[in-house]
Chains A and B, each alone.
Chain A
Amino acid sequence: MIKSVIAAPQVTLLMRTLSDPTRRAIYERIITAREATVVALTQHAGVSQPAVSQHLKALQDAKLVSGRRDGRNTFYHATAQGLAPLTRWLQHYEQYWMQSFDRLDDYLTELQRGKKKRGRRK
């Protein structure tokens, strides 16, 4: 769990993905509509269909959106856990510090015992 704190690439990816206002609008539209095709999304996006497809690809790469194929159409929907890494980030940050402070506690105890050793592990 802690790994994802520091290894924040998912969070970085989400931030980068959602930093584009047009893409964000498409994402919100998908959430509101529950399911939407490229054609439907293009009607509202104010950009060309290829541009919408590009945004959809970026949203899929970030695992915010996934597509369901039905005949000639692909219906896009928002994934359930898509935004979770972003919303959990602060909790992870707290964990990161709590664990550091545990280690600091041990280290201070050790220092005062005068038993400092290099490369100790917990």
Chain B
Amino acid sequence: MAVGNKPDLVITRVFDAPRSLVFAAWTDSKHLAQWWGPRDFTNARCEVDARPGGIIRIDMCGPDGTIYPMTGTFDEIVEPERIVMTNVAIADDAGNPLLEVRNTITFVEANGKTALTMTAHVIKATPEAAFALDGMEEGWKQTLERLADFVKTG
């Protein structure tokens, strides 16, 4: 997990649909509510203000009825080709972000299909998150190795 220019996650997916529709699926709450979240989740609340500075807020509802709120802010909206948003990936009990992820979603149309690429960068939010991320990249690796050794021999 890197904090910097190198993306932490890149996912590309081709959808058999025109770009305008795929783009709308991200910016229209009516559409978003239908697909956002893991399998078997529904979205009890879905608010999208798709413009720079606008808020996205989705309350995902798990199979057991637990609500998992997701919030974010749109940094860029370039219809129909690019969306940049910052999502709160992990928050503390009071809802303060501990970890934020900047997701850049690009839409490229070819032959009536749309290639979507999502690039995620983990960005620092708080000292806690900064520690966890820096740690994972550097010191934690060693710590984990030591731990692995310990588990093996101990």
Interface of A toward B, CB cutoff 8 Å: 2-3, 5-8, 11-12, 14-16, 18-19, 24, 28, 31-32, 34, 77-78, 80, 82-83, 86-87, 89-90, 93-109, 111-112, 120-122
B128 sits at the interface (CB 8 A): yes
Chain B stretch 1-60: residues in CB contact (< 8 A) with chain A: 1, 8-9, 11, 13, 15-17, 21-22, 25, 31, 34-40, 60
CA distance A15 to B26 in the complex (A): 31
B78 beta carbon closer than 8 Å to chain A: no
* A82-B147 Cα distance, complex, nearest whole Å: 10
- Chain B contact-residue range equals 35 or more
B77 within 8 A of A: no
- Ranked nearest first, the 3 interchain pairs of A and B with the lowest CB-CB distance are A19-B128, A103-B35, A108-B17
- Which residue in chain A gives the minimum CB-CB distance to B8? A90
Q: Are A107 and B35 in contact (CB under 8 A)?
A: yes
Residue of B with least CB distance to A117 = B34
What separation, in Å, do the CA atoms of A73 and B152 have in the docked complex? Answer: 25
Interface pairs (21), CB distance under 8 Å: A6-B37, A6-B38, A12-B90, A12-B98, A14-B132, A15-B90, A15-B98, A15-B129, A16-B128, A80-B151, A86-B136, A90-B1, A93-B101, A96-B37, A97-B9, A98-B11, A101-B11, A101-B116, A107-B35, A108-B15, A122-B39
* Residues of A contacting B131 in the complex (Cβ-Cβ under 8 angstroms): 15, 18-19, 24
A-B pairs with beta carbons under 8 A, tally: 132
Given A7-B68, A8-B89, A108-B22, also A15-B15 (CB < 8 A):
no
Q: Nearest Cβ in chain A — how far from B112, in angstroms?
A: 11
Residues 121-144 of B, flagged 1 when their CB comes within 8 A of A and 0 if not, give: 010000111011001100010011
* Bound: A66/B129 CA distance, A: 24
> Measured between alpha carbons, how far is A89 from B91 in the docked complex, in Å?
14
Given contacts A6-B38, A90-B9, A105-B13, contact A16 B68 (CB under 8 A): no
Whether B143 contacts A31 by the Cβ 8 Å rule is: yes
